[in-house]
Amino acid sequence: MTLTTTALMASAIILAAVGIIALYRATVGPTTQDRVVALNVVGTHAVLVIALLAAVFETHEIIDIAIVYGLLNFLLAIAIAKFSMDRGEVL
């Protein structure tokens, strides 16, 4: 492993570890808004970790998953926000 890939891998590990801290906020809450933002933080970290892995493994197929996750993150936040707003409509 070269110095660059080691640095990229180290940042991926740190991002995954910070996701565990965001999980604490998602668990404790206390409001739904806190949990949704915490889930969004974990989702953004997932996008970043997958993009970093694409750079480490030098494959471009993995980038597609990162893009799909970027879109789904948005969808998740909207679905939960709609649910907590008017109770009964998700789609």
Contacting positions for other proteins (CB under 8 A): 1, 6, 9-10, 12-13, 16-17, 19-20, 22-23, 26-29, 32, 35-36, 38-39, 42-43, 45-46, 49-50, 53, 57, 59, 61-62, 64-65, 68-69, 72-73, 75-76, 79-80, 83-84, 87-91
DSSP state at residue 58: T
- The string over 8-47, giving b where at least 16 C-beta atoms fall within 10 Å of a residue's C-beta and e elsewhere, is beeebeebeeebeebeebbeeeeeeeebbebbbbbbbbbb
Q: How far is the CB of 16 from other proteins (least distance, A)?
A: 4
- Least distance CB 38 / other proteins (angstroms): 8
